[in-house]
Amino acid sequence: MNRSELVAAVAAHTGHSQAAVNGVVDAIFTVVSKEVAQGNKVTIPGWVSFDRTHRAARMGRNPQTGATIQIAASKSVKVSAGSKLKAAVK
């Protein structure tokens, strides 16, 4: 399911317009991305959580040449499924 299909499905389920649902989806992702970028964890209990992680600098290897390279430190996002989502998938 892509974004437009999700918006259409939620609009059909709730009876709201697709424009209204699209605005809410935009707002959710804006707030989540802003909070995670600031280092705050965002949790929807039982469903999903988003958290910023830190990857330390490390040595790697170029697979084509075999040369050792330095991989810079970086930040990433960890998304974890909650218990209700896990149970729904079983």
- Domain coordinates in residue numbering, the chain: 3-85
**Per-residue pLDDT reduced to its tens digit, 9-42:** 999 999 999 999 999 999 999 999 999 999 999 9
Predicted TM-score (pTM) of this structure: 0.78
CB 40 within 8 A of CB 49: no
Q: pLDDT band at residue 79, thresholds of 50, 70 and 90?
A: very high
The Cα 43–Cα 48 span in angstroms is 6
- Predicted confidence at residue 45, as pLDDT, reads 96
Q: Which helix (H) or strand (E) holds 80?
A: strand 74-81
- Predicted confidence at residue 72, as pLDDT, reads 96
Q: For the domain 3-85, what is the CATH superfamily, name and number?
A: IHF-like DNA-binding proteins (4.10.520.10)
- Predicted confidence at residue 84, as pLDDT, reads 96
